[in-house]
């Protein structure tokens, strides 16, 4: 990127900490360094410096790191000023950099520059934000693999194979149907099938990654005191929700994320959706209804002694049509022998006890299954994928299906070549080889500032 202006931002989160970092990148680093620290630091050496404001007053002291282009995160000259991590001192240091010629960086602008300078492809750049946003350790590990290029490589293999296949197909454009030998056609079909199989594998891994990234939204519904909080605690493996004997204590929509086998489950604990005149409770109920919009499924918890109550039925009837419901009968430890004998026969119902832990593992596995999570037999190869990637992969798959359909008929190289071209283009958009400007704006504006 030619003539990039100099950008600066506080790269560490707001608040107090041992260290705070101001990061600066661009053409004007050397003159900025002269003003802010009084000298141009030796490349890639940590040196202790005083930091000055524009009047030459000392603001702070700390460590300075200078990474000259192109061997830096952005591919430009980069300066990192590590001061004491307090909001006031970070603001002073940032202001000093701004008066020394930098401007405030936009969200994601450092990573955008890394992408524009070919330090990262687009999928890798996105994984930087995914690492930062990861809500479980499994999601973080998966995003790191994408940053290291595993996902891009898998996409690239398909793009490369498609390029080769297009060359073969387009080479036959000049020949008439009679002239194209059978072996050539068979070879094209064979290679097309290979690419399709590879893409299916990538898509399956990306779907799993998308579950890891987005998590699954579950609305938890049930009457007061049936044991929702106790169940959540047990599923989460920690005592975080309030467990109480007083009905209606969990008044608000509490969002908690628990992790099962690394999959984030965002649980929306609700006040229930009962009729009320209480203003606060009404607000809780309104929130519950809006959360239903994005829920993947509902977890209905009941006391197994009563089962589905009329109040539960009212709520069930008010749910969006088609939203799957898992029926959980809790407190089976309180059932008498006869009722207990009938328990466990139902297929779609789960019987548990938050006190004894009975049935909890079955519930966990059912939640994962509903989330679409495959057991980890797929091993390491889960790619952190976004909706954008899934759409591109699905589009590419459709073009390849069209190509295969054509291929089964008479050999029509023009049409075949066009489907292959479209498939290749869809895939290339993942790594950004065909990145449109508005797409870049959309992706990088969602980053935090300083990244
Ligand atoms: P919530 O209002 O639905 O969130 O219910 P809580 O989790 O606060 O539980 C209400 C009461 O029921 C507490 O005293 C829990 O200890 C008790 N409880 C929850 N689950 C069970 C269970 O499986 N068996 C028995 N015996 N008691 C339970």
Interval 190-201: pLDDT, tens: 999 999 999 999
Looking at residue 438, what is its pLDDT? 60
Domain with CATH 1.20.120.430 in the chain: 125-212+386-432
Per-residue pLDDT averaged across 264-278, rounded?
Answer: 67
Looking at residue 169, what is its pLDDT? 85
Query: 272 CB under 6 A from ligand 1?
Result: no
**Three-state secondary structure of 120-157:** CCHHHHHHHHHHHHCCCHHHHHHHHHHHCCHHHHHHHH
Looking at residue 334, what is its pLDDT? 92
- Which residues, 6 or more positions from 244, have their beta carbon under 8 angstroms from its beta carbon? 229
Q: Whose CA is nearest to atom 12 of ligand 1?
A: 227
Candidates 274, 301, 339, 354: which one to mutate for ligand 1, based on the most atoms within 8 Å of Cβ? 354
Looking at residue 249, what is its pLDDT? 40
Give the number of the atom of ligand 1 that is nearest the alpha carbon of residue 249.
2
Q: How far is CA 191 from CA 88, 173, 405, in A?
A: 61, 18, 14
Is it true that domain 125-212+386-432 has CATH number 1.10.940.10?
no
Looking at residue 379, what is its pLDDT? 45
Domain with CATH 3.30.1360.120 in the chain: 7-120
Per-residue pLDDT averaged across 233-245, rounded?
Answer: 56
Interval 40-86: pLDDT, tens: 999 999 999 999 999 999 999 999 999 999 999 999 999 999 999 99
Looking at residue 377, what is its pLDDT? 46
Looking at residue 135, what is its pLDDT? 75
Percent of the chain with pLDDT over 90: 43
Looking at residue 267, what is its pLDDT? 79
Interval 291-350: pLDDT, tens: 677 788 888 999 999 888 888 888 778 777 788 889 999 999 998 877 776 665 556 789
C-alpha 393/C-alpha 396 separation (Å) is 5
Of 39-43, 117-121, 138-142, 189-193, the one with minimum mean pLDDT is 138-142
Among 15-24, 143-152, 308-317, the range with the most confident prediction by mean pLDDT is: 15-24
C-alpha 167/C-alpha 421 separation (Å) is 10
- DSSP H or E segment with residue 193: helix 182-214
Please give the class, per CATH, of domain 7-120: alpha beta
Domain with CATH 3.40.50.300 in the chain: 215-377
Per-residue pLDDT averaged across 385-395, rounded?
Answer: 90
Per-residue pLDDT averaged across 248-258, rounded?
Answer: 55
Of 248-262, 384-398, 433-447, the one with minimum mean pLDDT is 248-262
- b/e for 215-230, b at 16 or more Cβ within 10 A? bbbbbbbbbbbbbbbb
User: Whole-number mean pLDDT of the chain?
Assistant: 84
Residue 267 CA to ligand 1 centre (angstroms): 17
Confidence of residue 251 (pLDDT cuts 50, 70, 90): very low
Query: 353 CB under 6 A from ligand 1?
Result: yes
Q: Whose CA is nearest to atom 14 of ligand 1?
A: 245
Query: 356 CB under 6 A from ligand 1?
Result: no
Confidence of residue 371 (pLDDT cuts 50, 70, 90): confident
Q: Which two tokens stand for residue 315?
A: 């709520």
In sequence order, what are the beta bridge partners of 64? 47, 81
Give the number of the atom of ligand 1 that is nearest the alpha carbon of residue 233.
7
Of 127-131, 133-137, 296-300, 349-353, the one with minimum mean pLDDT is 133-137
Looking at residue 271, what is its pLDDT? 54
Can you tell me which residue has the tokens 């295969």?
404
Residue 300 CA to ligand 1 centre (angstroms): 14
Residue 137 CA to ligand 1 centre (angstroms): 30
Looking at residue 274, what is its pLDDT? 57
Interval 401-434: pLDDT, tens: 999 998 888 777 888 889 999 999 999 988 887 6
Looking at residue 288, what is its pLDDT? 63
Query: 251 CB under 6 A from ligand 1?
Result: no
Confidence of residue 248 (pLDDT cuts 50, 70, 90): very low
Return the higher-pLDDT residue of 281 and 134.
134
Looking at residue 273, what is its pLDDT? 55
Looking at residue 247, what is its pLDDT? 42
CATH number of 215-377: 3.40.50.300
């Amino acid at each position: 990127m030619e003539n990039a202006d100099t950008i600066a931002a506080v790269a560490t989160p707001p608040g107090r900490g041992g260290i705070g970092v101001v990061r600066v990148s661009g053409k004007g680093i050397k003159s900025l360094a002269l003003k802010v620290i009084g000298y141009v630091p030796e490349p890639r050496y940590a040196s202790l410096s005083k930091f000055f404001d524009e009047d030459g007053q000392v603001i702070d002291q700390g460590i300075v790191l200078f990474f000259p282009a192109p061997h830096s995160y952005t591919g430009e000259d980069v300066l990192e000023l590590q001061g004491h991590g307090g909001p006031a001192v970070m603001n002073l240091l940032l202001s000093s950099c701004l008066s020394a010629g930098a401007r405030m960086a936009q969200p994601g602008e450092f990573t955008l520059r890394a992408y524009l300078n070919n330090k990262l492809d687009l999928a890798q750049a996105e994984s930087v934000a995914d690492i930062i946003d990861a809500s479980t350790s499994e999601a973080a590990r998966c995003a790191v693999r994408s940053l290291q290029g595993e996902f891009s490589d898998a996409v690239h293999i398909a793009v490369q194979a498609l390029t080769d296949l297009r060359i073969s197909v387009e080479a036959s454009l000049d020949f008439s149907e009679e002239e194209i030998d059978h072996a050539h056609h068979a070879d094209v079909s064979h290679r097309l099938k290979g690419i399709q199989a590879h893409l299916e594998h990538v898509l399956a891994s990306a779907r799993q990654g998308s579950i890891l990234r987005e998590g699954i939204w579950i609305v938890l519904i049930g009457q007061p005191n049936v044991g929702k909080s106790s169940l959540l605690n047990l599923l989460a493996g920690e005592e975080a929700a309030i467990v109480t004997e007083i009905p209606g204590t969990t008044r608000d929509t509490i969002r908690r994320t628990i992790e099962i086998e690394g999959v984030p489950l965002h649980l929306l604990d609700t006040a229930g959706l009962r009729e009320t005149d209480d203003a606060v409770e009404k607000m809780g109920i309104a929130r519950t209804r809006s959360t239903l919009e994005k829920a993947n499924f509902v977890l209905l918890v009941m006391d197994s002694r009563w089962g589905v109550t009329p109040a539960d039925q009212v709520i069930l009837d008010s749910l969006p049509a088609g939203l799957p419901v898992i029926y959980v009968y809790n407190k089976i430890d309180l059932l008498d022998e006869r009722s207990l004998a009938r328990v466990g026969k139902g297929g779609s119902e789960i019987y548990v006890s938050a006190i004894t832990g009975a049935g909890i593992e079955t519930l966990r596995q059912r939640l994962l299954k509903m989330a679409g999570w495959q057991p980890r037999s797929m091993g390491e190869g889960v790619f952190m994928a976004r909706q954008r990637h899934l759409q591109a992969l699905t589009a590419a798959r459709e073009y390849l299906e069209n190509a295969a359909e054509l291929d089964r008929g008479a050999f029509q190289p023009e049409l075949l070549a066009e489907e292959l071209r479209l498939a290749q283009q869809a895939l290339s958009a993942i790594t950004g080889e065909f990145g449109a400007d508005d797409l870049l704006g959309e992706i990088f504006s969602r980053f935090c500032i300083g990244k």
